[in-house]
Structure 1
Amino acid sequence: MIFVTVGTHEQPFNRLIKFVDTLKADNVIKENIIIQTGFSTYEPKACHWSKLFTYEEMQKNVENARIVITHGGPASFFMPLQMGKIPIVVPRQVGFGEHVNNHQVDFAKMLSRRRGTILPVYAIETLEEVILTYDTLIERIAADMKSNNTVFCNKLEELVEEIIEM
């Protein structure tokens, strides 16, 4: 199962939801897909979806997912990281009206460069390839990851605080 979450930011993230829904509709992705659509206006036709899930439902979806795809909000990719999963992160971009600025792009680039524990996707058309080669991509990352999630989360929290102070 693939779980997609776009968070609760009030601007739609139709670009991601529609792209994933099309991959499922075109049978490029054969496994089940669950999408948390938030305030997006596009309603998936080929995927299971809900605007919002409870925290417990989010945990269950992340836990059961083979792949977790999130927007670039740290709260959305902390959960999969804490569960030992490597998320695909598609940052919202101001140029598509998905956020007020490109801080999600900047944060994903910094985190990817410094920690290498996420799979960032900046151009939506590359998402298909990342999904189809996910298992191979995470093998390389997992080999470099330490199993101590607490240490990682503490370091990530330090990075977030550093960015906020900028």
Structure 2
Amino acid sequence: MIFVTVGTQRFQFNRLFKELDRLIKSGEISEEVVAQTGYTDYQPEQYQGESMVSPEKMDEFIDKSTLVITHAGTSSIIKCLKQDKKVVVVPRVAKYGEHVDDHQLEIAELFAGQNLIEPVYDIKDLKEKINAVKGKSYSSYKFDNTKLIGSIDDYLTSLSRSL
């Protein structure tokens, strides 16, 4: 199963969902596709789509999936990487009315530069990237929170000194 998630941003992502329908209809994608469609105004024809799913259902879909297609939201990407899934990232782009700016392009480049995800910068490349991700090895995601813990410790230490 391919799971698609686009987060909870209040923007449409018709470009992605239309391309998925086209690929399924043409037989280029034969796997089952399940999508969390968010606020898109396009209704999938060839696959199951729900606007929002519970966190538990999200985890279940990710767990069952062979790969995940997601927007370039850091939470969505990291959630999938923590579950050791191969991730295809389609950044939302401002010129298509999918977000207010193009920061998701930068996020996708950052994760791709660390060999963690497969980015899709042109929606016409989606099928090629789905095929590529299946045979490619990616780096393991490791969350290093030592700086965060150090900052919290320093802050708490400074508070205790001022008491």
CA distance in 1, matches of 2:120, 2:82: 20
Letter of the aligned partner of 1:66 in structure 2? Answer: T
Does the residue aligned with 1:69 lie in a helix, a strand or coil?
Answer: strand
* Pairwise CA distance, 1:133: 3.0
Partner of 1:57: 57
Partner of 1:128: 127
CA distance in 2, matches of 1:105, 1:116: 15
The structure that has the greater radius of gyration is 2
- From 122, 144, 158, the equivalent of 1:154 is 144
Q: How does 1:1-166 map to 2 (within 5 A)?
A: 1-113=1-113, 115-137=114-136, 139=137, 141=138, 145-146=139-140, 149=141, 152-154=142-144
CA distance in 2, matches of 1:41, 1:99: 14
CA distance in 2, matches of 1:132, 1:109: 19
Seq. identity, %: 35
Greater per-residue helix proportion: 1
* Pairwise CA distance, 1:12: 0.2
| CA-based RMSD | 1.6
* Pairwise CA distance, 1:153: 2.1
* Pairwise CA distance, 1:122: 0.7
CA distance in 1, matches of 2:41, 2:129: 25
CA distance in 1, matches of 2:21, 2:144: 35
For structure 1, which runs of at least 5 residues remain unmatched after alignment? Answer: 159-166
* Pairwise CA distance, 1:134: 2.4
TM-score by length of 1: 0.83
Provide the aligned length of Structure 1 versus Structure 2: 147
* Pairwise CA distance, 1:116: 1.2
* Pairwise CA distance, 1:3: 0.4
For structure 2, which runs of at least 5 residues remain unmatched after alignment? Answer: 149-163
CA distance in 1, matches of 2:50, 2:120: 23
Deviating beyond 2 angstroms after TM superposition, the runs of 4 or more aligned structure 1 residues are none
